């Protein structure tokens, strides 16, 4: 996965929202530091109403909501976030849903025993 050159997270988020509106999945993603061996950061845009369906936690992970509104849900709880909010991702299956167009930064320590988050597949398919 290529590393995104340094740029404003706001500008990157706007570009990704445009791409998300064009993508059939309603999502678009960019890697910030692909060269780091264990710390991974993805910026992910989701079109309003789109989602990352339920998936496992990829390892120690946090989510920062850069713009818009979104929810993260597990079987036990639902977190409602808006721009500027921060969440430690629960260590269980969860989903992410965009209430409005949303841009998030997912930061995680890759655990070789856990699957990549679905947003990483967006990078491989170039949506």
- The domain limits of the chain are 9-109
Please give the Cα distance from 8 to 98 (Å, whole number).
Answer: 22
Contacts of 115 (CB under 8 A, 6+ apart): 55, 56, 58
**pLDDT by residue (tens digit) across 43-95?**
999 999 999 888 887 778 899 999 999 999 999 999 999 999 999 988 889 99
- DSSP string of 65-94, one letter each residue: EEESEEEEE-SS-EEEEETT-EEEPPSS-E
Q: What is the pLDDT of residue 43?
A: 94
Percent of the chain with pLDDT over 70: 80
CA-nearest of 29, 36, 33 to 6 is 33
pLDDT at 1 over 70: no
User: Tokens in use for 35?
Assistant: 């060269």
**Cβ atoms of 122 and 28 closer than 8 Å:** yes
Strand partners, 18: none
CATH 2.60.120.10 fits 9-109, yes or no: yes
pLDDT at 116 over 60: yes
Q: Of how many residues is the chain composed?
A: 127
Distances (CA, A) of 79 to 24, 42, 55, 75: 26, 20, 16, 12
Q: What is the pLDDT of residue 125?
A: 45
């Amino acid at each position: 996965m290529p590393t995104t050159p340094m740029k404003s997270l706001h500008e990157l988020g706007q570009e990704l929202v445009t791409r998300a509106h064009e993508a059939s999945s309603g999502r678009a993603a960019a890697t910030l530091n692909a060269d780091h061996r264990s710390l991974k950061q993805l910026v992910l845009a989701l079109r309003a109403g789109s989602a990352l369906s339920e998936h496992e936690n990829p390892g120690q992970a946090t989510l920062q909501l850069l713009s818009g509104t979104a929810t993260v849900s597990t079987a036990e709880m639902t977190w409602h976030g808006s721009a500027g909010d921060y969440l430690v991702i629960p260590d269980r299956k969860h989903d992410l849903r965009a209430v409005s167009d949303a841009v998030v930064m997912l930061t995680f320590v890759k655990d070789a025993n856990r699957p990549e988050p679905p947003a990483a597949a967006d990078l491989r398919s170039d949506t």
